[in-house]
Amino acid sequence: MPVTLRRDGSLNDVGNRDNFLGVGDLVIRCVREMFRSEAPSGDERPVVCARSPNPAPFIDSTADPTTYNIYVTATDTFDRFAYQLAHELGHVWLGPENTCGVVEAIAEAVSIEALGRASLVAGQDFGVPAYPAAFGAYARSPLTDAGFLERVPPEVARAAQDGRGEDLRLFLRYARARIDGARATATPPDFDLRTIGAAALRSGSVCWPALTGLALMTTVPRVADDRLRDNLPLNYGAMSAAARSLLRRMGRCCGTGLAVLELPAAGAAERPLFTFTENEVTFGLVECDWPELNPVAARLGGRVKAWSEPDHHVV
Ligand SMILES: [Zn+2]
């Protein structure tokens, strides 16, 4: 039995309810098609979607183990509603009882993909004429949002807009401590890094089924009380090679060390060096192993700021 939006109890107090329910059906269908499964891990629960009592959307899969309770804040516009619902449905398929920075970025990517697919479906079938066509453009809008462009180094923003996967991968390795250190459910989380992570994942084609259940593959076992966990570390060694190759795009499972160089000034990027400026310092990121570190820095004219080891579990 597929995951479906239950009429009973969903969006009860929302104006234009029938159209919102139609959009909900459409989004759920698109996410099911992406993951090529009716329900994650054979879990056949209906979705009950309601207005969030919190400032942010969230999913609760444990209070009532027979339903996925999804809470959204956007019940005014169809595109925002669809985006939030698709993100929380991403958590359903990834494993809703744990989250972290990487999982949040993947859930963002699920939203973008699902809304892109929804925009290609005839909305009339769902009682929502005209609206879904604009969903794809809405889902891509965070990359051109004024706040995003102001906060993120311009070279990184351009790489995200152009889908330059290798550059994004290096930047996400550089930002790894920030991604892993932030509590995923803290307020406010670092949405910019989620946006960059989602762009990195989507820089190539994605085999979504390979990501099913990924959030529950953790190095620390979940306590059996089934409450939501925040920031249990992911166990890359337990994942399939297909999952690890997708996570490599997000700066994980990389088999070479990463050097962070401080460069004298912004210049033309010499690939595979990725350069960007942050707080008026020009950084260069290049992958090299420890014995090559000093020769590489000397060749590129940079000062070594940091070097991080290769990962244990590579593709
Ligand atoms: Zn989330």
* 184 CA from centroid of ligand 1 (Å): 8
Question: Omega of the bond prior to 221 within 30 degrees of 0, cis?
Answer: no
- Residue 49: name the closest of 67, 37, 31, 30 by CA: 67
Residues with CB under 5 A from ligand 1 (ion): 104, 107
pTM: 0.94
Q: Tell me, what amino acid is at 158?
A: R
- Residue 258: name the closest of 315, 314, 309, 311 by CA: 309
* 165 CA from centroid of ligand 1 (Å): 22
CA dist 213 and 268 (Å) reads 42
Cβ 261 vs Cβ 304: under 8 Å: yes
6: Cβ contacts below 8 Å, ≥ 6 apart: 46, 47, 48, 67
* 100 CA from centroid of ligand 1 (Å): 8
CA dist 132 and 82 (Å) reads 9
Chain centroid offset of residue 69 CA: 20
- Residue 185: name the closest of 158, 215, 207 by CA: 215
Pairing of β 258-263 and β 281-287: antiparallel
* 162 CA from centroid of ligand 1 (Å): 24
- Residue 40: name the closest of 89, 109, 100, 113 by CA: 89
Q: Could you give the C-alpha distances from 260 to 1, 160, 283, 284, 297, in angstroms and in order?
A: 50, 20, 7, 6, 9
pLDDT (tens, 9 = 90+) of the chain, 315 residues, equals 688 999 999 999 999 999 999 999 999 999 999 998 877 766 779 999 999 999 899 999 988 989 999 999 999 899 999 999 999 999 999 999 889 999 999 999 999 999 999 998 877 777 776 778 889 899 999 999 999 999 999 999 999 999 999 999 999 999 999 998 877 666 566 889 999 999 999 999 999 999 999 999 998 877 766 666 777 889 999 999 999 999 999 999 999 999 999 998 755 556 668 999 998 999 999 999 999 999 999 999 899 999 999 998 887
Pairing of β 68-72 and β 58-60: antiparallel
Q: What is the pLDDT of residue 271?
A: 60
* 91 CA from centroid of ligand 1 (Å): 7
* 283 CA from centroid of ligand 1 (Å): 30
SS3 content of the chain, % helix, strand, coil (to 5): 45, 15, 40
* 288 CA from centroid of ligand 1 (Å): 33
Exposed e or buried b for every residue in 263-294, given b needs 16+ CB within 10 A? beeeeeeeeebbbbeeeeebbbbbbbeeeebe
215: Cβ contacts below 8 Å, ≥ 6 apart: 91, 94, 95, 96, 97, 98, 99, 100, 103, 234
**In which region does residue 163 sit, left (phi positive, over 0), alpha (psi from -120 to 50) or beta (all else)?**
left
70, containing H or E segment: strand 68-72
* 285 CA from centroid of ligand 1 (Å): 29
Residue given tokens 């929302």 in the structure block: 14
